[in-house]
């Protein structure tokens, strides 16, 4: 799908409330979820507590709900995979339930767990909830599955789903944030993209490409993505840490953090060479950032490897995140988006969910997902898939996330159940939106995070 069509489709779904954010979808989705009752005689079995009371002797397929917070081209691709799975066999029917975004998915799941009316599978993973028993371990199903090849999974992705030695989550796809730039903008200013290996070089290029009229920036040299992720990646590339090696001290007010976040603040608020979209409903801010680049309002942006399905690579190209002068190549986070099975789902529902999740990660499926979305395949064998090999020859941008993942940082596992990450998000808003000095924002965040960490130590 061309970008213009994708954008129009996304905007139409916004208008219709399809991805209208937390406030617009909450009531409708909740009503849909809680309305699921026992199946009719001879019909499919449904998920949730109602399913537990359904006639298990039903000869129909087991129907399960799969919740996921994906929109735009990603959402379309997920629907295609669900449809393909449903057509591939007659034992399970997956009903995809779209949420506004990843955060909304988890909030809705929390309410579903409390009401004991859960989906059978969800594109979400919460280590703390696994500790509390809200998710079902999959080890017995994996042991009984002769086709499950642990060695073929990308090791770091599979390990990310393990809690206390048990496999609670399976990786659906990998992701890392990379750089997308307009080829014409760099060419016009004589900038070789191969030279943009440091943040200092990127800032110089952004300054050169930015345009201002009547005191307002009309063309940004670069656009970071709203939130803490881009700035955390840059800190990790400078050698900064979130926690001390012994895990007892929060380190987010160290010089590496303050210096890096001060630079981002300077580029955004003082130099005005980098713009940022914030707020809105669901992924609205993300698509506005992409649109700025595609509509020639910005030279480039930092976004997900999964954005590739929404981009026109006749116009843009991809490159790895930069490092820092005198330090070395970047070390941004590479992580897996994982799916789990809520423990409240019946045994029948859990088996059906496992069948769906392992189907999604089959070699040909994870390879095609990567080709269509830009996300990283979770199986090593995907790289040898004939279609993937042929595709990567014509579309070299698909290799960028894989190359970056080879020297990336592991995702932070928040021991406080998300409190440290929440403190970082709040601090990022203070710096990016409210122009609060980085040292002040980070020290305040460190105090909050340290208190939460001390409570569990």
Domain residues of the chain, as ranges?
Answer: 3-175+335-405, 176-333+412-456
- 328, 302, 317: which is closest to 221 by C-alpha? 302
Fold match between 3-175+335-405 and 176-333+412-456? yes
Element (H, E) at 107: helix 102-115
| Tens digit of each residue's pLDDT (9 = 90 or more) over 352-366 | 999 999 999 999 999
Can you give the pLDDT at residue 21? Answer: 36
Q: What is the DSSP string of 362-381?
A: SHHHHHHHHHHH-PBPSBGG
Which residue has tokens 């960490």? Answer: 453
Can you give the pLDDT at residue 255? Answer: 98
Question: Alpha-carbon distance 303 to 310, whole Å?
Answer: 11
∠ CA 141-146-148, nearest 5°, is 70
Question: Alpha-carbon distance 341 to 347, whole Å?
Answer: 10
In total, the chain counts a number of residues equal to 457
Beta strands in 99-208 (DSSP E): 121-122, 162-163, 166-167, 169-182
Alpha-carbon torsion (171, 177, 183, 187), positive or negative: negative
Can you give the pLDDT at residue 58? Answer: 52
Please say whether the structural domain 176-333+412-456 has been given the CATH code 3.30.420.40: no
Residues (pLDDT < 70) of the chain are: 1-59, 457
In our burial notation (b when 16+ CB lie closer than 10 A, e otherwise), range 16-31 reads eebbbbeebbbeebee
Tell me the fold of 3-175+335-405. D-Maltodextrin-Binding Protein; domain 2 (3.40.190)
pTM of the shown model? 0.72
Give me Rg for the CA atoms of the chain.
22
- Confirm if 61 and 76 have CB atoms less than 8 A apart: no
Question: Alpha-carbon distance 445 to 434, whole Å?
Answer: 15
Beta carbons within 8 Å of 222's beta carbon, 6+ residues apart? 202, 203, 205, 206, 267, 273, 274, 298, 299, 300, 301, 302
């Amino acid at each position: 799908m061309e970008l213009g069509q994708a954008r129009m489709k996304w905007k139409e779904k916004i208008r219709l409330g399809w991805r209208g954010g937390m406030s617009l979808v909450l009531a409708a989705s909740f009503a849909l979820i809680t309305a699921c009752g026992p199946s009719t005689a001879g019909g499919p079995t449904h998920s949730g507590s109602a399913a537990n009371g359904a006639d298990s002797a039903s000869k129909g397929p087991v129907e399960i709900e799969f919740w996921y917070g994906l929109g735009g081209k990603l959402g379309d691709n997920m629907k295609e995979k669900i449809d393909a799975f449903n057509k591939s066999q007659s034992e399970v029917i997956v009903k995809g339930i779209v949420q506004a975004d990843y955060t909304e998915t988890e909030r809705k799941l929390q309410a579903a767990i409390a009401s004991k009316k859960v989906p059978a599978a969800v594109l979400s993973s919460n280590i703390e909830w696994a500790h509390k028993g809200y998710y079902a371990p999959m080890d017995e199903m994996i042991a009984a599955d002769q086709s499950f090849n642990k060695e073929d999974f990308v090791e770091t992705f599979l390990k990310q789903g393990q809690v206390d030695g048990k496999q609670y989550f399976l990786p659906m796809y990998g992701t890392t944030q990379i750089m997308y730039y307009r080829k014409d903008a760099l060419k016009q200013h004589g900038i070789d993209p191969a030279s943009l290996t440091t943040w200092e070089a990127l800032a110089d290029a952004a300054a050169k490409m930015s345009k201002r009229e009547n005191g307002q920036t009309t063309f940004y040299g670069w656009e970071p993505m709203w939130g803490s992720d881009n700035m955390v990646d840059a800190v990790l590339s400078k050698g900064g840490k979130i926690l001390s090696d012994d895990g007892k001290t929060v380190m987010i007010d160290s010089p590496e953090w303050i210096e890096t976040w001060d630079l981002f603040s300077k580029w955004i608020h003082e130099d005005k060479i980098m713009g940022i979209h914030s707020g809105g409903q669901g992924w609205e801010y993300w698509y506005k950032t992409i649109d700025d680049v595609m509509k020639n309002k910005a030279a480039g942006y930092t976004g997900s490897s999964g954005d590739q399905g929404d981009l026109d690579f006749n116009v843009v190209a991809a490159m790895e995140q930069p490092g820092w002068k005198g330090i070395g190549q970047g070390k941004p986070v590479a992580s897996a988006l994982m799916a789990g099975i809520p423990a409240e789902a019946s045994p029948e529902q859990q088996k059906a969910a496992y069948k769906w999740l392992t189907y999604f990660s089959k070699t040909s499926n994870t390879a095609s997902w990567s080709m269509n979305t830009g996300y990283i395949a979770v199986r090593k064998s995907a790289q040898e898939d004939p279609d993937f090999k042929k595709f990567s020859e014509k579309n070299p941008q698909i290799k960028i996330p894989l190359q970056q993942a080879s020297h990336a940082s592991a995702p932070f596992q928040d021991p406080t159940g998300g409190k440290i990450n929440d403190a970082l998000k709040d601090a990022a808003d203070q710096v990016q939106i409210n122009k609060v000095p980085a040292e002040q924002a980070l020290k305040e965040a460190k105090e909050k995070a340290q208190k939460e960490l001390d409570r569990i130590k």
